[in-house]
Amino acid sequence: MTGSRHYFIGVQIHEQLAHQIKKDVDARSGLYFQKWTAPADYHVTLVFLGAIAKKRLEHIIELLEKLSKDTAAFPLELYHLDSFGQKEKPRVFFAKPNESTPLMQLREKVKKAVVTTGHPVETRPFHPHMTIARKWDTDQPFVEQAPLREVPYTMDVSSIALFEIRPEETPRYHAIKRFTLHK
């Protein structure tokens, strides 16, 4: 294994958009969470890898390089807010991208590449999301949130990245390899 580092493959939210989303979320009242995600860490995970052997990680990188050459850039829209866990006391608060065909196809291609190397992949259904905060932190019940704004935030997904998780740092997620979508 490559030390105790953990990895995932995902779509990084563009810096300017991430800061705008953070600003818009901060303008809301009644959001009491213990942990807030730094805008630099905003992303949509495609496949979580966890700890992984260096040789297998190198093989995944090779497959992602090939995959990116056959994948076209596409728009990603973030609009809806939702949560995981109990509705009145959520454990994760997130922005949900539209589950567009290109996003779901990209996820399947990445998953297939990882599985091809023999690495295990999450078996639960894929629910793309961008985590904003974690762990509800008050006795008051969580109130369902209106959409982020009237029109979706939109960005072009022109690359995916292999991220290394560094929990002791901020930002926590470091793109150690980017794969430009070429088609």
Instruction: Indicate which residues carry an active-site annotation.
Output: 43, 129
Which tokens belong to 69? 């050459």
Name which of 45, 79, 53, 33 is nearest 162 in CA terms: 45
Quote the crossing angle between the two packed helices 54-69 and 101-116, to the nearest 10°: 140
Contact 9, 114 (CB under 8 A): yes
> How far, in Å, CA of 10 to CA of 159, rounded?
9
Which tokens belong to 131? 């985590």
> How far, in Å, CA of 13 to CA of 84, rounded?
20
Please report the DSSP string for 56-97 in residue order. Answer: HHHHHHHHHHHHHHT---EEEEEEEEEEEEETTEEEEEEEEE
